[in-house]
Amino acid sequence: MTKQPKNIDEYVTDAASIEALKKARDECIDTCFSRVETQRTQCKFGKEGVCCRICYMGPCRITPKAPHGVCGADAATIVARNYLREVVGGTSAHADHGRHLVLRLKHIAAGKGGGFEIKDEEALRYTARLYSIAEAGRSKEEIARELADLFLKDFTAQEEKLKTTALAPLNRQSTWENQKVMPYGIDRMVVESMHRTHMGVDHDYRSLLLQAFRTALADGWGGSRIATMVSDILFGSPQPVRSDANLGVLEEKNVNIVVHGHEPELSEMLAAASCAPDIIECARAAGAEGITLAGICCTANEILMRHGIPVAGNFLQQELAVVTGAIEMMVIDVQCCMPSLPEVAKAYHTEIVSTSEIAKTIGAVHFTLDEDNAFESAKQLIKRAIDNFKKRDPGKVGIPSAKKPLIAGFSVAAIKYMLGGRFRASFRPLNDAIMQNRIFGVAGIVGCSNPRSKVDDYTNTLTGQLIKNNVLVLKTGCAAIASAKKGVLTPEAALEKAGPGLREVCEAIGIPPVLHMGSCVDNSRILEAGTEVVLEGGLGDDLSHIPAVGVAPEWMSEKAVAIGSYFVASGIDVVLGHPFHIGGSQAVSDFMSEEIKELFGASFYVCENPQSAFETIMEILDKRREKLGINKKMERKLMDMKDRRKLDV
């Protein structure tokens, strides 16, 4: 039994999490919030990136008295190698997710789709045209086969550049060529990076860091972009959709099933199966009123975007959801699923079911989807959850009531349509609004939550400040869910919380001031939106010119490291809420904050609180506006103490 958190509201911010964490404390359940207390003393060497355990002459750690490892590697080499390996971890996670989807597309094209099909033929044909694949007069299977093969080549290409990079603005592609970071196939980038970081290979920190950006580009413009495009083809391109978010979406009288992780395939099937009349009948026969399917993390974002399935919570609510005692089954797949879940679930009747062949968890029951009969197989899983309903202990149930309405589903196609209408879908109105300074700029706020800081607090405080100052906010991942729980993903929020210029634009179009663009792989949608802005004209001819910035306030995963890196390599400045593990090398730190400006026209900024992040972001946007010559001076004043006190919006 670890130390339980004392003042709950120092850990979590939303009412539902506060209530659930109190319940966990009262019932002596360990969660990440109690475990983080036992992990307060962090290893300084790990934190600064100067611990090397790449070979067995080590582990070595760098100090002023021991400036070299046994092999002679210095701090810069060790820090850069560790950083590159983090980027590889993140890139691999996104790419492997993308690969599964491409293989699914290929199988469907070959008539072996099981219960899966191509739901969005228009997206398929549109995507084929992007790659100059002939589509007119051809069946969707034929097109899908050619497209899937092309995507698979983006994984396996040895000496050809990644085809998907051709979707970036031309100037950006030239930058990548000139800086020699144009990626080859994704798999090669990953393997080569692991080779280069092996003992005794690449020792020049600049060379290692450039490889990190090159690998990250194979994520953003490769694995992630492909995952998003294929998800849209298979499951439908998102359109604005209403739903609710937070633990209050769970229903006491229903069988509650929560899907958690990242891959949309099984959860898509569960979404369909949970509405089948025979399944609902089955739930009623077991004494429930119906079935509630809800999501956590990015699996939640995937089915929210396409079906309006409610969101139970973001990353740090996964254990709290189980603590409600009202979940019959939590279905997990890959990434961001805590190994502690079965342990938490022991105190309740909740069954944790793992579903990916590459992701098993001790204490979870493993379920393999019968791909040839996917729909029936999904129904079987739901029936199993229904059986668990009878085991629920009503005395242990405590579902917090808090939830907020939201609108999600802002794919680039949807935004274009909303801006311009069906017959003249275009980004023109957005570009105009930016040029006329009704919108000051655009911020893509992405990433996780992290128990080392108060959950969602930084993200939501910063978001509030930005929209109040006419910055349009684009969101994905757990940061988007944080906004959902705060209630700012609604058009009404624009009326109450946005500055006058942004409000006017949101009102005219009918959009929220914060646009939910999907899961973390859908950060590729933010790159796509940025590219649309460039192509539309008037705001420069590269991503490094447009008044846009990326922000990862409460990030924790290697995926976030890769995402931050591909944003910067794409020319978009990135503000981080806490630093990478690179502080142990001045040379690497200088490279990451200064030298890369020369290479990519963007760099990293670390801002440890929302106020400094806000000021930094406004400054970055201001400079970009200035360079574009669209800076009709605004009467923006620096904050005085009174404004600062009002910060808690």
Residues engaged in binding ligand NFS (CB under 6 A): 262, 297-298, 315, 336, 447-448, 477-478, 519-520, 557, 559
Binding positions for ligand SF4, 36-55, rule CB under 6 A: 52-55
Residues 76, 89: Cα–Cα separation, whole Å: 20
Residue closer to ligand NFS by CB (options 93, 439) is: 93
To ligand NFS, the closest distance from the beta carbon of 427 in angstroms equals 26
Which of the stretches 58-66, 135-143, 145-153, 383-391 binds ligand SF4 when contact is defined by CB under 6 A? 58-66
Which of the stretches 15-23, 56-64, 117-125, 152-160 binds ligand SF4 when contact is defined by CB under 6 A? 56-64
Residues 83, 209: Cα–Cα separation, whole Å: 8
59 binds, among ligand NFS, ligand SF4, none (CB under 5 to 8 A by kind): ligand SF4
70 binds, among ligand NFS, ligand SF4, none (CB under 5 to 8 A by kind): ligand SF4
Q: Which two tokens stand for residue 205?
A: 């920190």
191 binds, among ligand SF4, ligand NFS, none (CB under 5 to 8 A by kind): none
Bridge partners of residue 359, in order along the sequence: 356
478 binds, among ligand SF4, ligand NFS, none (CB under 5 to 8 A by kind): ligand NFS
Q: Which two tokens stand for residue 14?
A: 């939303």
54 binds, among ligand SF4, ligand NFS, none (CB under 5 to 8 A by kind): ligand SF4
Residue closer to ligand NFS by CB (options 298, 439) is: 298
What angle do the packed helices 75-109 and 264-273 form, to 10 degrees? 40
Which of 57, 134, 191, 275 lies at the binding interface for ligand SF4 (CB under 6 A)?
57
447 binds, among ligand SF4, ligand NFS, none (CB under 5 to 8 A by kind): ligand NFS
To ligand NFS, the closest distance from the beta carbon of 520 in angstroms equals 3
477 binds, among ligand NFS, ligand SF4, none (CB under 5 to 8 A by kind): ligand NFS
Can you say how many angstroms the Cα of residue 619 is from the centroid of all Cα atoms in its chain? Answer: 25
Closest Cα partner for 511 from 423, 456, 433?
Answer: 433
Closest Cα partner for 70 from 81, 59, 79, 80?
Answer: 59
C-beta separation of 549 from 617 below 8 A:
yes
- 435 is a site residue for ligand SF4 (CB under 6 A): no
512 binds, among ligand NFS, ligand SF4, none (CB under 5 to 8 A by kind): none
To ligand SF4, the closest distance from the beta carbon of 581 in angstroms equals 15
- 71 is a site residue for ligand SF4 (CB under 6 A): yes
Residue closer to ligand SF4 by CB (options 85, 516) is: 85
Q: Which two tokens stand for residue 238?
A: 């998102």
69 binds, among ligand NFS, ligand SF4, none (CB under 5 to 8 A by kind): ligand SF4
To ligand NFS, the closest distance from the beta carbon of 555 in angstroms equals 7
Which of 46, 58, 290, 398 lies at the binding interface for ligand SF4 (CB under 6 A)?
58
- 194 is a site residue for ligand SF4 (CB under 6 A): no
Residues 287, 301: Cα–Cα separation, whole Å: 30
Closest Cα partner for 440 from 478, 404, 467, 400?
Answer: 467
C-beta separation of 400 from 247 below 8 A:
yes
Residue closer to ligand SF4 by CB (options 53, 253) is: 53
C-beta separation of 392 from 474 below 8 A:
no
To ligand SF4, the closest distance from the beta carbon of 194 in angstroms equals 14
Residues 575, 604: Cα–Cα separation, whole Å: 6
Residues 423, 623: Cα–Cα separation, whole Å: 35
C-beta separation of 399 from 248 below 8 A:
yes
Report the amino acid identity of residue 104: R
53 binds, among ligand SF4, ligand NFS, none (CB under 5 to 8 A by kind): ligand SF4
Residues 406, 399: Cα–Cα separation, whole Å: 20
Residue closer to ligand NFS by CB (options 75, 338) is: 338
Which of the stretches 63-71, 104-112, 413-421, 589-597 binds ligand SF4 when contact is defined by CB under 6 A? 63-71
To ligand NFS, the closest distance from the beta carbon of 26 in angstroms equals 27
Residues 132, 283: Cα–Cα separation, whole Å: 49
Q: Which residues in 537-567 are b (16+ Cβ under 10 Å) and which e?
A: eebbebbbbbbbbbbbbbbbbbbbbbbbbbb
Q: How many residues bind ligand SF4 (CB under 6 A)?
A: 14
Residues 587, 637: Cα–Cα separation, whole Å: 36
Binding positions for ligand SF4, 78-97, rule CB under 6 A: 78
60 binds, among ligand NFS, ligand SF4, none (CB under 5 to 8 A by kind): ligand SF4
To ligand NFS, the closest distance from the beta carbon of 556 in angstroms equals 6
Cα distances (Å, whole numbers) of residue 53 to 60, 70, 323:
7, 11, 38
Binding positions for ligand SF4, 198-217, rule CB under 6 A: 199
To ligand SF4, the closest distance from the beta carbon of 90 in angstroms equals 22
517 binds, among ligand SF4, ligand NFS, none (CB under 5 to 8 A by kind): none
Binding positions for ligand SF4, 172-191, rule CB under 6 A: none
- 69 is a site residue for ligand SF4 (CB under 6 A): yes
Would you call 446 helix, strand, or coil by DSSP? Answer: coil
Bridge partners of residue 471, in order along the sequence: 441
Q: Which two tokens stand for residue 312?
A: 């139970």
Residues 468, 497: Cα–Cα separation, whole Å: 6
Residues 114, 275: Cα–Cα separation, whole Å: 19
C-beta separation of 45 from 51 below 8 A:
yes
Bridge partners of residue 241, in order along the sequence: 408
Binding site for ligand SF4 (CB under 6 A): 52-55, 57-60, 69-71, 73, 78, 199
